[in-house]
C-alpha cells in the first residue's frame, strides 16, 4: 500500500504505518523540509519502507542528492536511487540498461554526464562493487584461498565510497562491471569485509542474496552441491 507524504513524515502518517505495516511511504522530495544528507540520516534512523519521488525537483538538485547518497555512511533502502546509481555505474562502461527500469531518474546521456562530473566517486563505486569478488574469496574456508588474498591492497577506510553500494548486489546487471575492473585494481576493504558496519550486519547479508549468482554458485561449489550441467540446462531454458 502506497502512502504519499513528505519528510519529516507527519505523525498521522507514521501512526497509520504502525497500524498497517504493509504501507510504503513515497517521499515528495521537492516539498520536503529535509533534503540531502539530513534526509538520508532521517530515513536511515526511521527505517520504514520508503522511496523518493523527485517530481518537480531540478536536475541539479537530483544530482546533488545522488552524490550525497553515494557518499553517505547512512545505510538506506531506496530502490529509485539504487537503480539510478546502477544505471550510472553501467554508463561508466558504456552500457545502457536504463530501458529495463521504469523508475529511472536519468537518461543515458545524463548518466554519462554525471560520470564525467563525479568521476572519482563513480570510480570508487565500481572498484568497491567489483571488489565483491575479493570478499567472495574471503568467505571461503581454505588456507590456499586465504593466502591468495594477500595480493590485494588492503584499505582500512570505512568511508571509501559510502556504504550503500552493497544494496546493488541484488541486481544481476551489476556483474557486468566486474570484467571492466582489472584484478590488480580490486581491493580488500577491511572494515566492510570484516566488521558488521551495515547497521550491525555483516556484508555477508548483502552479498549472499538471490540476485547474486556469483555468490550463490560459489556457495554451492563449496558445499559440493554445484552441478554445472544442470546450470547450463537451466540457463538455456531461461534464454
Q: Where are the domains of the chain?
A: 58-238
pLDDT for the residue 102 = 64
| Dihedral in degrees, nearest 10, Cα atoms 157, 160, 162, 164 | -100
pLDDT for the residue 145 = 81
CA geometry: angle 107, 59, 108, nearest 5 deg: 10
Could you give the 3-state DSSP secondary structure of residue 58?
coil
Cis ω before 8 (30° cut-off from 0) = yes
pTM: 0.88
Chain position carrying cell 549472499: 208
Q: What is the pLDDT of residues 92-133, one digit of tens each?
A: 999 987 556 666 788 889 999 999 999 999 999 999 999 999
pLDDT for the residue 99 = 56
pLDDT for the residue 212 = 86
Could you give the 3-state DSSP secondary structure of residue 177?
coil
Low-confidence ranges of the chain (pLDDT < 70): 98-103, 216-239
Q: How distant, in Å, are the alpha carbons of 52, 77, 187 from that of 29?
A: 6, 16, 35
pLDDT for the residue 144 = 83
Return d(Cα 239, Cα 229) in angstroms, integer: 15
- CB 29 within 8 Å of CB 6: no
Amino acid at each position: 500500500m502506497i502512502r504519499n507524504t513528505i519528510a519529516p513524515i507527519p505523525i498521522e502518517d507514521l501512526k497509520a504505518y504502525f497500524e498497517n505495516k504493509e504501507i510504503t511511504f513515497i517521499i515528495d522530495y521537492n516539498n520536503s523540509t529535509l533534503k540531502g544528507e539530513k534526509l538520508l540520516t532521517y530515513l536511515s534512523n526511521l527505517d520504514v519502507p520508503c522511496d523518493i519521488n523527485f517530481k518537480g525537483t531540478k536536475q541539479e538538485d537530483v544530482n546533488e542528492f545522488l552524490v550525497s547518497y553515494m557518499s553517505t555512511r547512512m545505510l538506506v533502502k531506496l530502490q529509485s536511487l539504487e537503480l539510478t546509481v546502477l544505471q550510472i555505474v553501467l554508463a561508466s562502461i558504456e552500457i545502457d540498461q536504463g530501458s529495463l527500469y521504469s523508475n529511472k531518474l536519468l537518461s543515458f546521456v545524463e548518466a554519462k554526464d554525471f560520470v564525467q562530473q563525479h568521476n572519482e566517486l563513480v570510480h570508487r563505486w565500481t572498484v568497491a562493487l567489483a571488489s565483491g569478488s575479493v570478499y567472495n574469496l574471503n568467505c571461503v574456508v581454505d588456507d590456499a584461498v586465504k593466502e591468495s588474498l594477500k595480493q590485494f591492497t588492503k584499505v582500512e577506510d570505512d568511508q571509501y565510497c559510502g556504504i550503500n553500494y552493497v544494496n546493488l548486489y541484488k541486481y544481476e546487471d551489476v556483474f557486468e562491471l566486474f570484467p571492466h575492473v582489472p584484478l590488480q585494481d580490486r581491493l580488500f576493504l577491511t572494515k566492510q569485509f570484516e566488521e558488521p558496519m551495515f547497521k550491525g550486519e555483516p556484508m555477508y547479508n548483502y552479498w549472499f542474496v538471490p540476485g547474486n549468482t556469483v555468490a550463490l554458485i560459489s556457495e554451492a561449489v563449496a558445499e559440493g552441491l554445484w552441478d554445472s550441467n544442470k546450470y547450463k540446462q537451466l540457463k538455456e531454458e531461461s534464454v
